[in-house]
Chains A and B, each alone.
Chain A
């Protein structure tokens, strides 16, 4: 009895008491789904109907031969390859520009950061209107310098690029904040020493500042890649996967399978889960590769 009482007031009891509500919630809504998702991927299952049928690896095999999956994968890769370098390089340049003591810099920073808080839908609406083929401001402005008119989201060849522009706009603030923080972490003495040593602006940036931005760059590459691969909201709301399926990315296809077609008579939840898991694996491998590569070339300040 005494031991029990001692346990009750011990650190063990206290620790568990503190974490219990959170752990239970995360167990139910975070961990259980991960496991169940795996199980689902080996089944043929519907979302509404309770039937489940084990089909082993059939779902995974099906992925390999599904042309829609292939198209979705290509679209996703296309988007990622466009989005990641563009957003990171833009952010690097902008952060570098904002890292100065000039007039209005607070206003400039605000202007760059603000789009971070706009939702994907709000942004989608803004750009649907801006990029409207007939009445949008973009075509009017571009027309003034002799370009266009462009179809943007309505043109099969341009839709993805328009998506990239829209999402770069939305993410620029986030990436810039990270780079700005990293730039401000570079000791001023280092750039001063480089200036005295004879390095010009470009040299000083490339050889002294840029290497110190390694960890931030790695973070942004990993983060941007992961969010690029998981693109959904903008596709669902703005382009609906079109035109002609040219912007149908993987997560969009998974959603379609499970929640549009799967809610009907077809039992595609398992298949969708399998695709999701393959995507997960891809992301995992890609992230690990990026970290491995990054750690080999980055110097971490001790």
Chain B
């Protein structure tokens, strides 16, 4: 930024006048949720809204956990997400390394084919994928959520781009030393790629944790296989006027993602910014 000499009308940079209210606006929905989750039912129906409930009813959270299948939903989502993230890390790393560094027959064609699938919008594949999952007998189970996502094209694309930026001399030196492809991948490439892998993990985590449409479509009757988003939606439907409970459920469902974000901000931002570079 060019430092321009200016007469100071205010004791601070004028942009604060825009950024501060904006930040408030962005955080308001969540803050308001927290406040609501600590109120009594009667307090939620107060208009004008009560901004500070006085006593904080943390019991609301316990009521939600005990009174619904929240624990199951949370567990299911965790299992599904961890499975998918781990699987992606392994499978996408293997595949991307091959696409980036190994010359094999059909490499170009297969890569293009995979990329082409990125262009196809979800509603086109929704119904047929449903049918395939049904044929495989995975419907109504967590398997329906996990198996189709074990490898993601986005992950392959991202890692392939990244691997290509690593200096190839390191790997060539290892080959001359007699290392196998796999050990080059594990001992040299992966240690150098930790930031990219972290980024993939974090982005994949977020998508899987927040996914709604696919669980909605594949988990039909088996309430034990509900994910958090599905459960949350149902909960809101059945407790429509009990906003204090709904808010508590909502906050609990957001917490893991919020914590992950605060801890791994850098990777989220990097993941998203890199999409801009891919252009």
Contacts and interface: CB of A to CB of B under 8 A. Distances in A.
B91 to A, nearest CB: 5
Given A21-B91, A25-B151, A233 B12 contact: no
Interface residues of A, number: 102
Nearest to A223: B275
A28 interface: yes
Interface in B171-192: 181-182
Nearest to A259: B217
A294 to B, nearest CB: 10
Nearest to A19: B95
A203 interface: no
Interface in A108-155: 108, 110-123, 125-130, 134-137, 140
Contact of B122 (A31, A181, A230): A230
A226 interface: yes
A240 to B, nearest CB: 10
A147 to B, nearest CB: 15
A34 B1 contact: no
A172 B26 contact: yes
Contact of B91 (A22, A118, A128, A181): A22
Instruction: Output the residue of B19, B30, B210 with the most chain A CB within 10 A.
Output: B19
A149 B114 CA distance: 50
A99 B19 CA distance: 11
Contacts of A113: 261, 265, 268-269
Contacts of B272: 116, 174, 177-178
Interface in B11-67: 12-13, 15-16, 18-20, 22-30, 32-33, 36, 44-49
B117 to A, nearest CB: 4
B79 interface: no
B204 interface: no
A189 B182 CA distance: 45
A119 B36 CA distance: 19
Given A14-B104, A34-B125, A181-B273, A103 B12 contact: yes
B243 interface: yes
A161 to B, nearest CB: 17
Q: Is chain B's binding surface mostly helix, strand, loop or mixed?
A: helix
Given A126-B29, A219-B279, A47 B104 contact: no
Given A18-B98, A178-B273, A12 B105 contact: yes
Contacts of B262: 110
Given A16-B104, A237-B233, A137 B32 contact: yes
Nearest to A114: B261
A254 B123 contact: yes
B222 to A, nearest CB: 15
B260 A15 contact: no
Contacts of A174: 272
A280 B102 contact: no
A18 B26 contact: no
Interface string A89-120: 00000100111111111011011111111111
23 contacts: A16-B106, A21-B91, A21-B151, A22-B91, A22-B94, A32-B132, A117-B258, A120-B210, A121-B253, A122-B210, A122-B232, A129-B32, A129-B246, A135-B45, A135-B49, A140-B49, A195-B2, A223-B275, A236-B216, A258-B126, A269-B131, A276-B127, A280-B120
